Amino acid sequence: MMRVYNTLTKTKEEFKPVQSGKVGIYLCGPTVYKPSHIGHMVGPVIFDTIKRYLTYSGYVVKLIINITDVDDKLITEANTRGIPMAAVADEMTADYWRNLEAMGVKESVDAFPKATEHIGNIINFTQKLIDKGFAYESDGDVYYDVGKFSEYGKLSHRTLESMLGEGGGTAERKHSPFDFALWKSAKPNEPSWDSQWGKGRPGWHIECSVMSCELLGETFDIHGGGLDLVFPHHENEVAQSEACHGKPMCTYWMHNGLMQASSEVGKVGGRKTHSAEEDNLESQEAGKISKSKGASAFRDMLKQFKPETIRFFLLSSHYRRPIDFSFERIEEVGKGLETFYRFAKRFDKLTGQSFYVLEAAKVRTDGDKVKAQTPLCESVAEYRTKFLDAMDDDFNTGGAIGVLFDLLRTLNKFIDDSKLETTADKKSIAPLIHGATVLRELGLTLGLFREPPQESDNTSSNELVGKLIQLLIEMRTNAKKNKDFATADIIRNKLNEIGVTLEDRPGETMWTIT
Ligand SMILES: [Zn+2]
């Protein structure tokens, strides 16, 4: 049984889609006024993984990520640069898409609706709220009347009284300080659209209520976003959509933890364990990654790390937990991923076929159909079940990756124990191929092992590096033959220091650059 943690009920609930066999997911996307930083990749990678896993589990999944292309920040940026708002939006949307493409996410997003493409629908939705008595016009603005929606606060678990203490700013045009703008009248030189309330532009919250309904229906399955969006953005979405349609906006509200600069929350590079209290929004907000904390543009990060390494890093912890960000942490996690790459090379060499073309099952079959003919197949089946259990339990990618490491160790040990690399007896190859195929099948549900890791573009210098390392390996082998273990160790350790890992296999030494 698949279970999903729902922010609305604060419990894990059994996953049941609105329409049998189909799942609709809406994820709040970026406001496109600056280039993306790594914080912008967290939600897309997590919800892309959730889509992959649900697809593997037999559902037809639609994933929508919206683009906020009209907003105060965009207008300010456009004025600073002296170019139209739409030019800023186009440039930053292209940057966002290029990054999603590099991360293997763009292809799995079914639509990227933009606010400015839905102005007519936004005006109609707003008018409906006025007609139903949930919104009012005031001097060219339209506000949502929070006092009219009795369930306001149910998602963020707040009451209007408790919010009073938070000192929401009063505005003369509003009935209550908590009322929020659905439509904002145009100030001079601002981009604007005609409406029955005069020239203006939509507020932020209304676009998500409108576009999610347009693309997924009045009630859909999963609404996702960062924990910082629960209030007020998602609370306001609930108020708008449910007042307008008189039915739940979605079944499950899923919120991912925020990315924090590691120095803000603990020692750099250390794996920090969080207590339950530390996972609350206030502490996460304090260390949240944003431009102001010096997060570099994501496109620059891609020059330093393989996209798969970043993906592996983002999925290594549970999605509801905050993610401690530092380059050291990514490097550390990357070393773990390299052990899978080394296995893939070892596998290729042994079997003469590429790990990356193994025909992995694309759809889950419960209760491993493969009769466990050998002890290896038996433990592979056990790891498979453990992996699926972890993912079924609120998409615990961190736990699932832990199982992949266990499976990897088992496969490497099998090769060692059956001396596959030195003996001519190849009858053990079949169970190994089965195990590797399952490893790839499970990895693919997390968006991993889709293709061989990209090498750097600089092929000729790579070749030279390879030859130099091979030379050092030969010198080390000779040193060992002459019982000069001190020299052998120095070569190994010095290579390790500069990021070259050696691994001794029967009859040869393999190397990887981390
Ligand atoms: Zn939204």
Q: What is the pLDDT of residue 90?
A: 97
Span 149-174, pLDDT tens digits: 999 999 999 988 777 655 455 567 88
**Residue 429 pLDDT exceeds 50:** yes
Span 59-83, pLDDT tens digits: 999 999 999 999 999 999 999 999 9
Ligand 1 center to 330 CA (angstroms): 29
- Residue of 275 and 345 predicted with greater confidence: 345
Ligand 1 center to 174 CA (angstroms): 23
Three-state DSSP state, 324: strand
Work out the end-to-end distance of the chain between its first and last CA atoms, rounded to an integer number of angstroms: 39
**Residue 449 pLDDT exceeds 60:** yes
Q: What is the pLDDT of residue 499?
A: 85
Contact 230, 223 (CB under 8 A): no
Burial of 372 (0-12, 13-18, 19+ CB in 10 A): middle
Span 204-223, pLDDT tens digits: 999 999 999 999 999 999 99
Q: What is the pLDDT of residue 166?
A: 53
What whole-number distance in Å separates Cα of residue 361 and Cα of residue 401? Answer: 18
Residue (of 314, 305, 306, 298) closest to 454 by Cα position:
306
Ligand 1 center to 134 CA (angstroms): 20
**Residue 45 pLDDT exceeds 60:** yes
Q: How confident is the model at residue 508 (pLDDT cuts 50, 70, 90)?
A: confident
Angle at 273 between CA 270 and CA 278, to 5 degrees: 120
Q: Six-digit token pair at 311?
A: 């993906």
Beta bridge partners of 111: 64
**Residue 295 pLDDT exceeds 90:** no
Ligand 1 center to 26 CA (angstroms): 8
The mean pLDDT of the chain is 89
Ligand 1 center to 28 CA (angstroms): 4
* Residue partners of 177: CB distance under 8 A and separation at least 6: 168, 169, 170, 171
**Residue 274 pLDDT exceeds 90:** no
Mean pLDDT of 394-422: 95
Q: What is the pLDDT of residue 276?
A: 41
Q: How confident is the model at residue 275 (pLDDT cuts 50, 70, 90)?
A: very low
| pTM for the predicted model, two decimal places | 0.85
Ligand 1 center to 8 CA (angstroms): 16
Domain extents in the chain: 3-135+146-155+203-256, 459-513
Q: Report the CATH number of the 3-135+146-155+203-256 domain.
A: 3.40.50.620
**Residue 55 pLDDT exceeds 70:** yes
Ligand 1 center to 225 CA (angstroms): 8
